[in-house]
Structure 1
Amino acid sequence: MKITLEKVHGSMNTFYMIDSDERDDYGDLALQLCEIDQGVDGLLVILPSKSADAKMRVFNRDGSEASMCGNGLRCVARHVCEKLGIEQAVIETMKADLTVRREETLMDGIETYSVQISPVLFDLKALPMEYGNQSTLIQQVIPEISQDIQFSAVAVPNPHLIGIVPKDIQKSPEHQKKWAKKFNGENDYFTDGVNVSYVTKLEEGIFVRTFERGVGFTNACGTAMTASALISCMSGLVPYGEVAVYNPGGMVKCTVDRNGDDIKLLLTGNATRLSEHEFNWSKDKAESGFTASRNLDEQRRYEKFIKEISVVVEQFA
């Protein structure tokens, strides 16, 4: 079967994207695409929705399905808004219908979209996480991991464990890799795995590196960046409001508004189209493969943006 794909990215969190109908084997397609192209993090599927302008499903490199993807949602937002000729839309995700909209560009020529990140859940059952008899984990040392790093757990709705670390730990990701791999294997804390992010304060905002469940270290994870901005505000690392969040793939803006228990999160960043493809999809992966491809020119503009912020990002390379 021949299908049409777009290759897209948000903050270099890169995906193939298909606009199609509901079926039960998109996980298999994600596995095939990620085996052929080691540079992608998964598959975005755009589907009809009964409650919104469109529905998004997200499949990781290992074929598992994620609840949400903030970077991927921006790319889906652009596709849906351009297809329908609108500036704002509502996208159905696994846990919520989320508002998305086109925004003022981060830099000339870079299509920019904001997406709502919701719900925000601190109850450890929502991740799920087991930690003694606690119902939440906020700005707390986990002695098994470190006597110095304070961790917080939050679901948005993807599960995240976020540690605030100094620059020397951020520059050498071995500590993060060790515990992220443990928590995404057989362990007593996270039965379904977890996204693990380390956050470091900058003059300009924060830097975030994420080990993503089902993926590994990634250039960026949208829900992780937003959750990290939230925890950074709650810990007093940065003030509430708009937070510049740098990552190995670039920079996004996360807006954190809080009024008591009411928390509103917004993720704003690029939605870049890299290429268009025709793909022959077969259950026999030996018969699957790309039959035609066309590169687009948008990445050149994004690389100019990366160059401008490189002095911030490269200190953690």
Structure 2
Amino acid sequence: MDIQFIKCHGSGNDFILIDELTHGYTFTEQERKDLSIILCDRQDGIGSDGILFVMNSDKAEARMRMFNSDGTEAEMCGNGLRCVARHMLEKENKIHIAIETEKAVLAVSQEEEIFPGIDTFSVAIEPVSFELASLPVNVEAEPASKTSIPGLPDHLTFTALSVPNPHVVAIVDEIDQQELKQVGEKANHLPEVFPNGVNVSFMKLLEKNKVFVQTFERGVGLTNACGTAMSASSLVSTIHGPNTMGEPIVVINKGGLVNCVVEKKEESFSIQLRGNATNVYEAVVQLDWNSREFQLENKREFVEEQMKYEKLEAYAASQIGGDS
């Protein structure tokens, strides 16, 4: 089978985007899972954090489903949604559309550049909930706000929220990647606490309205960036830190940076996630389902886009220095 795709990334969180609308693909659920495991493998596959399937929707211009590299499906993916937003905005020749996700139909748009030369896309991250059942997470405190979690290190306290996928965020003085990896792995092997697993983030406050976030992503592991984690962390930084709602919060990550704007209306929170959606290359994968072997054809690199993003990466790295 020949499958056309785009390799793309949001903040270094990389994906394989497959447009079922344009190409008329009709994958079974098992084939989606298998494709994710085969193609996302960084040793023997194309290599990515997941696959974005762009599908038909009767509620919006398109529907997005995101499968992690281990074959599991995520409820939401903020960085992936920006990539799908760009793809559909260009396809529809519009600057505002809506994309259907598992939990909600979300507004997406093209916005002012967050960095010179970087086309920038904004996506709504919602619904947001601090109710423990929305993750779910089984702890005594409700809501779980700066709370220790059974089975995780006592010196860390976490705030738990869904956006709508499950997150716990710890504010730390310095980010220790090895500790984050250990804590993330442990949290995802505590079914009595996190029945559906959880995304774990460490956040360092850099200055007013600027933070550094790194995440252990459920189903993936340590990532360069996780859009919903950066959004969740931004919200936590307005509750337990100095950052201000209604103003852009610069979120630095291993893959670059984004801006998040946290808003509250009555008792409901919403977050605007603004950042890049960079195309790396497009190609056709010729896949033999029986042998699970494949080869790439007609590969075309987007060199200029990559060069522009490298400048943003260098700037972001200069903001965190040797702290990571």
Same fold (TM over 0.5): yes
Query: Does structure 1 residue 3 correspond to structure 2 residue 11?
Result: no
Query: Does structure 1 residue 316 correspond to structure 2 residue 323?
Result: yes
User: Secondary structure of 2:244's partner?
Assistant: coil
User: Secondary structure of 1:101's partner?
Assistant: strand
Query: Does structure 1 residue 68 correspond to structure 2 residue 76?
Result: yes
Give me the whole-angstrom Cα distance separating, in 2, the residues matched to 1:83 and 1:212. Answer: 30
Query: Does structure 1 residue 194 correspond to structure 2 residue 198?
Result: yes
Residues paired across the two proteins, number: 313
Change (3 A) 1:72 1:110: same
CA contact (8 A) 2:202 2:215 kept: yes
Match of 1:275 in 2: 281
CA contact (8 A) 2:213 2:252 kept: yes
Give me the whole-angstrom Cα distance separating, in 2, the residues matched to 1:124 and 1:51. Answer: 29
Give me the whole-angstrom Cα distance separating, in 2, the residues matched to 1:233 and 1:46. Answer: 33
Give me the whole-angstrom Cα distance separating, in 1, the residues matched to 2:309 and 2:191. Answer: 39
CA contact (8 A) 2:128 2:268 kept: no
Match of 1:258 in 2: 264
Calculate the TM-score normalised by the size of structure 2.
0.92
Structure 1 unmatched ranges of 5 or more = none
Give me the whole-angstrom Cα distance separating, in 2, the residues matched to 1:160 and 1:264. Answer: 15
Match of 2:180 among 176, 185, 205: 176
User: Secondary structure of 1:52's partner?
Assistant: coil
Aligned AA (1:230): L
Give the deviation of 1:69 after TM superposition. Answer: 0.4
Aligned AA (2:319): V
Match of 2:240 in 1: 235
Query: Does structure 1 residue 33 correspond to structure 2 residue 56?
Result: no
Match of 2:119 in 1: 111
Give me the whole-angstrom Cα distance separating, in 1, the residues matched to 2:249 and 2:156. Answer: 22
Match of 2:309 in 1: 302
**1:190-213 Cα shifts (integer Å, max 9, x gaps):** 111100000110026111010000
Match of 1:102 among 95, 98, 110: 110
CA contact (8 A) 2:15 2:48 kept: yes
Give me the whole-angstrom Cα distance separating, in 1, the residues matched to 2:150 and 2:75. Answer: 30
Change (3 A) 1:139 1:116: same
| Identity percentage of aligned residues | 41
CA contact (8 A) 2:15 2:50 kept: yes
| Larger mean Cα displacement after TM superposition, 144-153 or 174-183 | 144-153
User: Secondary structure of 2:241's partner?
Assistant: coil
**RMSD after superposition:** 1.6
Change (3 A) 1:261 1:3: same
User: Secondary structure of 1:62's partner?
Assistant: coil
**1:126-155 Cα shifts (integer Å, max 9, x gaps):** 1111113x4420122347534443310000
CA contact (8 A) 2:85 2:108 kept: yes
**1:261-284 Cα shifts (integer Å, max 9, x gaps):** 121210000010000011112322
Give me the whole-angstrom Cα distance separating, in 1, the residues matched to 2:256 and 2:215. Answer: 13
Give me the whole-angstrom Cα distance separating, in 1, the residues matched to 2:322 and 2:231. Answer: 21
CA contact (8 A) 1:250 1:313 kept: no
User: Secondary structure of 1:141's partner?
Assistant: coil
Give me the whole-angstrom Cα distance separating, in 1, the residues matched to 2:257 and 2:198. Answer: 23
CA contact (8 A) 1:4 1:278 kept: yes
Give me the whole-angstrom Cα distance separating, in 2, the residues matched to 1:260 and 1:234. Answer: 15
Give me the whole-angstrom Cα distance separating, in 1, the residues matched to 2:226 and 2:104. Answer: 18
Structure 2 unmatched ranges of 5 or more = none
Match of 1:121 in 2: 129
User: Secondary structure of 1:315's partner?
Assistant: coil
**1:85-119 Cα shifts (integer Å, max 9, x gaps):** 10011000011000000011123332210000000
Give the deviation of 1:238 after TM superposition. Answer: 1.7
| Larger mean Cα displacement after TM superposition, 53-62 or 15-24 | 15-24
Match of 2:152 in 1: 145
Aligned AA (1:239): T
Give me the whole-angstrom Cα distance separating, in 2, the residues matched to 1:262 and 1:175. Answer: 33
Match of 1:212 in 2: 217
Match of 1:85 in 2: 93
Give the deviation of 1:285 after TM superposition. Answer: 4.2
Give me the whole-angstrom Cα distance separating, in 2, the residues matched to 1:287 and 1:11. Answer: 30
